[in-house]
A = this chain, B = another copy of it.
């Protein structure tokens, strides 16, 4: 599992937990109806806004994002430059036997299209459309979480207003408002907690991860087109290095070529 994520969750939730336990009775913050209204209201509003399949899908995507590491862009460079060398020496058709060894399915599809003799502009069009709509699907995932991050505090506030109205309606002795006021505040507490320590950071994570994946795919697209046009492997390397940070380029150089 992604260690940073674990640290992130433990640090933020841990500190909230500690500050709750230190300042008084921890059970003050456990109120099932309040939890229910915030979580349920947020999910309800989200299910009204997005189809069920998308909402369920996004949780699976989110899980994967936290469990698996994404491909390093720098690792692509020696791979693609090796391909370019091979293509110039043995011809693009020589990849046919090797096609199954290529793990990245997007790269494999690109090479397949080149082998099939599709025109360069058609390959670029198909691969660009694929990247564009991949981005759109990723953006939808990130959007669902930030939508939840927007609804949660609003519904928390709604719960607090309900609590305040109920408290004010039956208030007889102003000095006794402490406990009901505290309970009314709990929905705002849950809403703020969920939004800022869970929904919004996860939306950010999906966004970051999407950008990284799109970068890798852009490099593959550039590389496949370059290989098909018969570019020299130094030129392919040059082009792909432009995508990554100067410091990361060293890493790319240091690595042995592997297919």
**CB-based nearest B residue for A153:** B154
Name the one of B168, B175, B246 contacting A185, with C-beta atoms under 8 angstroms.
B168
Interface stretch (choices A76-84, A198-206, A251-259): A198-206
Within the assembled complex, what's the spacing in Å between the Cα atoms of A242 and B29?
Answer: 49
Query: Does B205 lie within 8 Å of A49, measured CB to CB?
Result: yes
**Chain B residue contacts of A175, Cβ below 8 A:** 174
**Chain B residue contacts of A158, Cβ below 8 A:** 16, 189, 192-193, 196
- Can you pick out 21 interface pairs between chain A and chain B where the beta carbons lie within 8 Å of each other? A4-B47, A8-B46, A11-B47, A12-B44, A12-B48, A15-B37, A16-B37, A18-B37, A19-B33, A20-B162, A45-B200, A54-B208, A126-B239, A136-B211, A140-B208, A151-B196, A161-B189, A161-B192, A162-B189, A164-B185, A171-B178
Query: Does A178 lie within 8 Å of B169, measured CB to CB?
Result: yes
Query: Does B168 lie within 8 Å of A44, measured CB to CB?
Result: no
Copies of the chain in the assembly: 5
- Nearest Cβ in chain B — how far from A156, in angstroms? 10
- Nearest Cβ in chain B — how far from A15, in angstroms? 4
**Chain B residue contacts of A151, Cβ below 8 A:** 196, 200
Query: Does A3 lie within 8 Å of B52, measured CB to CB?
Result: yes
- Nearest Cβ in chain B — how far from A103, in angstroms? 14
In A1-53, the 8 Å CB interface with B consists of 2-5, 7-16, 18-20, 22-25, 28-29, 33, 36-37, 40-41, 43-52
